[in-house]
Structure 1
Amino acid sequence: MRNDVSGSAVLVTGGSSGLGAAVVEAVGKAGGRPYVLDRQAPADGVPWVECDLADTRAAEAATRELADRAGGLDGVVTAAGMDVPGRLADVPAETWERVVAVDLLATAAVVRAALPYLERSRGNVVTVASTLGVKAVSDATAYCAAKFGVVGFTRALAAELAGSVGVTLLVPGGMRTAFFDDRTEQYRPGPDAVLNDPAHVAQAVMFALSQPPGCAVRELVVCADRESSYP
């Protein structure tokens, strides 16, 4: 019976910043062994493989490399994500498609590559969608398409893997991370915006990862209590 992540190997995509970094820290503090896929190095001492997740075949290969290095996997958290907001006609096609590749296609690629390891350990997957995966807004066609896709992918995956791998859909609201830093002013949260602490969201991830085989935490919505995009 699993009731914590002590000793568990957990792969985190996007683990060098934002929610991913908060999950890496939480796993380490709980006695687990975090492993990271990212384009930038995570915290010192955390094993990682440099990977552009938009290259889904590279993401699969990197996942297998880390899983073999870890001696298997007990958990996967697909925290990597990006967005470039703007009207459909104004966002370059290459940029639009990169958002979908990183946020949706890489999620599926990493989980696909991790499945043999997770099935052996009866481990857990936590995919990271967004409140904009259940509520569509203007100037976010790529991000909403990708995150709505993560919602559908995860619900189908949970049905497919029932009885073998735990699958949890995480739907977070806005968080105090660097996610909004490179945006123009019109696409940044206003000064009165209420954003969640990624460390708090990471605790919800830890709850999902720590469930014993046979116990399904299907979906978690975690946001500031005054989140404007949910419900």
Structure 2
Amino acid sequence: MTSPKTVLITGTSSGIGLAAAIGTARAGWTTIATMRDTGKAEALLKAAEDAGVADRIQVKRLDVTDAAGVTACLDEVVAEHGRLDALVNNAGAAQVGTIEQSSLDDVRAAMEVNFFGVVAVTRAALPHLRASKGRVITVSSVGGAVGQPFNEAYCAAKFAVEGFMQSLAPVAATVGVDVSVVEPGAVASEFVANLGLDVPALLAAAGPYSPALDAYIKRTLQSFGNAQTPAEAAAPIVDALTVDRPPFRIQTSQWARDFVATTLADVDGSAVQTLTGSWVR
């Protein structure tokens, strides 16, 4: 009998990653659900039990910023399961602020998790994915196509991810590996809540940027009131793992498609500046 296909997903303690792990397990995949702190696996394990897929999900510790740990984890997965058929890069962290008031360490930390972590895990997975003719699916964001106010470091990292993956895709295809990016819009998950933002303190410290930040926060809170569920955002990830040839760029909603289309058709950048400028006034 052919053994089930194996997928490794990063950042599965909550949100899209958790939903993707449940979705892939339901679809019959052996799912390696990784997270930096396995002490936070309770929600995933309960969801797996409720869905009847606990036997298909294995939790492993993986810190995407630890290159040696990344390689060791990938090697361990292949040793235990004999194969790796897909990688879902989902781990990430938001970072809110504008550059004059952010430290370079803040920016580097955002790049380390959101960009270099993706590079490290992809690099370690590629030899195994070449062997299986597998897939790399990377959860980016509409912020990887449209730069957004007070998200300079986060969007820079997501832009870097999309440039990296768009460049890698034709090369990986020559050795039988498909590469795609998934671009969610607002998702009702713990991703934003995990920032632990003290909004009054942020506004008090924003100085000349306080009016713009206040307008941005109000607009953002409103947008998350109409957000997709994590399961809705994760469904296209599962689809991308099972269709014959997934597209390179996948949005998770019609809103996300329309939003990303703004930048893809914006040759001189004026349409995006007009749109996002309205968020801070």
Scaled by the length of structure 1, the TM-score of the pair is 0.88
Between stretches 60-69 and 16-25, larger displacement belongs to: 60-69
2:78 to 48, 56, 67: 67
Determine which structure has more spread, i.e. the larger CA radius of gyration. Answer: 2
The question of whether the paired residues in 1 share the 8 Å contact of 2:10 and 2:62 is answered with no
User: Equivalents in 2 of 1:21, 1:101: separation in Å?
Assistant: 22
> In the superposition, relative to structure 1, how do residues 169 and 191 fare at CA in structure 2: closer, same or farther (>3 Å)?
closer
Q: Deviations over 1:128-166 (max 9, x none)?
A: 111111111222121011000111111111111114101
Between stretches 109-118 and 182-191, larger displacement belongs to: 182-191
Deviation for aligned residue 1:117: 1.1
User: Equivalents in 2 of 1:33, 1:114: separation in Å?
Assistant: 16
2:255 partner SS: coil
> In the superposition, relative to structure 1, how do residues 15 and 70 fare at CA in structure 2: closer, same or farther (>3 Å)?
farther
The equivalent residue for 1:200 is 232
The reply to whether residue 169 of structure 1 matches residue 186 of structure 2 is no
The one-letter amino acid of 1:221's match is Q
1:47 partner SS: strand
The equivalent residue for 1:105 is 116
The reply to whether residue 190 of structure 1 matches residue 221 of structure 2 is yes
* Percent pairwise identity: 28
Between stretches 49-58 and 167-176, larger displacement belongs to: 49-58
> In the superposition, relative to structure 1, how do residues 229 and 90 fare at CA in structure 2: closer, same or farther (>3 Å)?
farther
User: Equivalents in 2 of 1:99, 1:191: separation in Å?
Assistant: 24
The reply to whether residue 119 of structure 1 matches residue 119 of structure 2 is no
Between stretches 88-97 and 162-171, larger displacement belongs to: 88-97
Deviation for aligned residue 1:226: 7.7
The question of whether the paired residues in 1 share the 8 Å contact of 2:183 and 2:256 is answered with no
Deviation for aligned residue 1:229: 5.2
User: Equivalents in 2 of 1:100, 1:154: separation in Å?
Assistant: 15
**Aligned 1:41-52 pairs, distance under 5 A:** 41=38, 42=41, 43-44=44-45, 46-52=57-63
1:219 to 231, 249, 257: 249
Deviation for aligned residue 1:88: 1.3
User: Equivalents in 2 of 1:205, 1:77: separation in Å?
Assistant: 8
Extract unaligned runs of 5+ from structure 1. Answer: 1-5
The one-letter amino acid of 1:35's match is I
More helix by share: 2
The equivalent residue for 1:13 is 10
Deviation for aligned residue 1:224: 5.9
Scaled by the length of structure 2, the TM-score of the pair is 0.73
> In the superposition, relative to structure 1, how do residues 160 and 169 fare at CA in structure 2: closer, same or farther (>3 Å)?
same
Q: Deviations over 1:150-200 (max 9, x none)?
A: 111111111111141011111111101001112344547324642111211
1:209 partner SS: helix
Extract unaligned runs of 5+ from structure 2. Answer: 46-53, 200-213, 263-281
The question of whether the paired residues in 2 share the 8 Å contact of 1:77 and 1:128 is answered with yes
Between stretches 191-200 and 17-26, larger displacement belongs to: 191-200
Q: Deviations over 1:60-102 (max 9, x none)?
A: 3322222322221111100111012011132233232111111
Deviation for aligned residue 1:30: 1.3
The question of whether the paired residues in 2 share the 8 Å contact of 1:49 and 1:66 is answered with no
> In the superposition, relative to structure 1, how do residues 14 and 91 fare at CA in structure 2: closer, same or farther (>3 Å)?
same
